[in-house]
Chain A
Amino acid sequence: MAHFARLDSDNKVINVHVVDNNWVLDGDGKESEAVGIKYLQDLYKTTDSFIQCSINATIRSVYPRIGDTYDVTNDWFEKPKPEIHESWVQNSSTGIWEPPFAPPAVTSKNEDWRWDEETQSYVDINPDNIPSSAEE
């Protein structure tokens, strides 16, 4: 399946459409974004902008949802910053929001680091590292 985000004039995603792969092939039998865009514009009789996306996020960084934004300059879709992670920063290579610094190295204890916004640090939550007596 080929997926296309439909954009408004501010490049906000207003819908995501799915098209059977057989209907986005060019004359050489190769998948073509342009063919898919024209197919959807003809089908819905619209001049709205469409841009291809991937449900597996193999292109343009992320699979967009309605309300996300297409960044023309970087050619990727952007999601809003997670509300519960005010400190997160946008990865300049992917546009994805991430903690402000990388987690500590994993040792033989196989730590499972999670970002804690409250303390601005990583916390190990691997249950295997919790004493067994803690279960009682």
Chain B
Amino acid sequence: MSTFQQFFPGGDSSSSGGGGGVPATTTVAELLVVGGGSSGSMGSQGPYAQCITSQSNTAPDSGGNGGGVLVSSRWLFEQGCVYTVTVGTGGAAQEACGQVHGTSSSIIGYNAPPCALVGHASKRIEALNPYFTSSYAWKMQYLDKHCSPYHQIDQYTCHYGTSVGKSTFIKNGVYPTYGSPIMTICSGSAGGAGNPGCPMNVKTSMVGAGPTGPQKCQFITSVDVNYGSDGLESCISGSPVFYGPGGGGMNPGYHQSIAGVLNIACPSNQAYSGLVQEGGYISCFSPFDQVEMSRPSVSHSGCTYRQPNGSANCCVTAASANYGAGGGVTRPGPQALPTDMNGGSGVVFVRYPTDYSAAASVSGNTPTPAQPGYHVYRFNGDGSITF
């Protein structure tokens, strides 16, 4: 049996969900399918920012991408058929460089082939930097992108991909302890869902003779700055909620010298400088370097902020479950290793008018507030539904 016959037995393309007439045996439903969010992107567990990336990469200590969001205003489900619902998990924090993407969410069954109703996890594309030769400062260099581009399933159904926020270059300077000259950058972008594309634009230049010469360090020459995205707003739960918000970056300072890039880690010198709240802020650790940018407050994404008492500790809010939220990045305390944070799991909603019968059977669902005129099924975890 072909894939087409498996999911559209006896039918043709005109019978696929969302198109053509509505057979009497179908239930027309709205959908929201949100993939799991990525973990935050750790900067370094060593004294130097080994994980810093170049050539259109993700900066260290960036927030994780939110999960991709599929929205359908009209999908035709065949009554009597079982549909399997998978809810994507958030990416697991790791003790290594880069984000860990979550997994995709989906609804699969008759008229819903595996490729169709999917809230995609962001993807990671990775390659070693061919110019890496230093044995000291640039241990790991990735071409690191996290994309899940927008695409349209049919006229009623679209998938919204994920994007990556950016970081910012702050200033040149001298840092005698670690060599001279230096550049100080403030990193920690916010990831996000809802927009296609994932440019990063960390640009670097070689020092000395280049990759085969005596000085092999790269210098950051500029890092673009931009916001992560808030994700996509939906009212399918009965109230407006953003799904797939990006996680907040940590906002460390980076001092780069001949010797390498020093990861300063937690914001310092002033309370709430460089706070990263709700995946919405990026700024710097020092009052001299203050660059603070915000975007609309988005709940549920992972974030990191400094305690107001002036200590060096960072407080952490984990990404909430079931919003497809990106994770944050943190260093829990002076003696704690920096680490990225888990991404949040996804969620699946199915909602349709009470003109249709309630689902014949459902498993794995989570109770959700009633909405007059609708049957609403929420899946915070894997399950199934038969219309």
Contact = CB atoms under 8 A, between A and B. Distances in A.
Contacts of B265: 112, 125, 127
Contacts of B243: none
Interface in A15-42: 15-20, 22-23, 39-40
A113 B322 CA distance: 36
Nearest to B176: A134
Given A82-B45, A117-B46, A135 B173 contact: yes
Interface in B55-109: 84, 86-97, 100, 103
Interface of A: 1-3, 15-20, 22-23, 39-40, 43-44, 55, 62-66, 68, 79-80, 82-85, 96-97, 103, 106, 110-118, 123, 125-128, 130-131, 133-136
A63 B94 CA distance: 9
A115 B312 contact: no
A113 B365 CA distance: 46
A84 B140 contact: yes
B103 to A, nearest CB: 7
A118 B335 contact: no
Interface stretch (B22-30, B152-160, B202-210, B375-383): B375-383
B345 A1 contact: yes
Interface of B: 44-48, 50-51, 84, 86-97, 100, 103, 135-136, 139-140, 173-177, 253, 262-265, 268-269, 285-286, 288, 312, 321-322, 334-335, 337, 342, 345, 363-366, 379-384
Interface of B is mostly: loop
B382 A18 contact: yes
Contacts of B366: 20, 22
B94 A43 contact: no
A122 to B, nearest CB: 8
A70 B264 CA distance: 35
A23 B90 CA distance: 20
Interface of A is mostly: loop
Given A65-B92, A84-B97, A116-B46, A43 B363 contact: yes
Contacts of B140: 83-84
A18 B46 CA distance: 33
B342 A115 contact: no
A19 B382 contact: yes
B46 A23 contact: no
Given A1-B380, A16-B89, A43-B383, A85 B285 contact: no
Nearest to B253: A127
Contact of B177 (A55, A64, A83, A134): A134
Contact of B312 (A68, A112, A116, A130): A112
A118 B380 CA distance: 45
Contact of B47 (A19, A40, A68, A125): A125
Contact of A114 (B47, B97, B312, B364): B47
A12 to B, nearest CB: 14
Nearest to A53: B92
Given A18-B89, A23-B363, A64-B92, A126 B345 contact: no
B288 A18 contact: no
Contacts of B176: 133-134
10 contacts: A18-B88, A19-B382, A20-B365, A55-B321, A84-B97, A106-B334, A117-B46, A127-B269, A134-B175, A135-B286
Given A65-B100, A84-B97, A112-B334, A23 B263 contact: no
A16 B103 contact: yes
B86 to A, nearest CB: 8
A63 B103 contact: no
A46 to B, nearest CB: 12
Nearest to A64: B92
B46 A127 contact: no
Contacts of A64: 92
Nearest to B87: A18
Contacts of A103: 335
A133 B86 CA distance: 55
A131 B174 CA distance: 12
Contacts of B268: 127-128
B380 A18 contact: yes
Given A18-B381, A20-B380, A43-B382, A84 B92 contact: no
B47 A116 contact: yes
A90 to B, nearest CB: 12
Given A79-B96, A111-B334, 19 more contacts: A1-B322, A1-B345, A1-B380, A3-B89, A18-B88, A20-B379, A23-B363, A23-B364, A85-B46, A112-B265, A114-B44, A115-B45, A115-B46, A116-B47, A126-B312, A127-B269, A134-B174, A134-B175, A135-B175
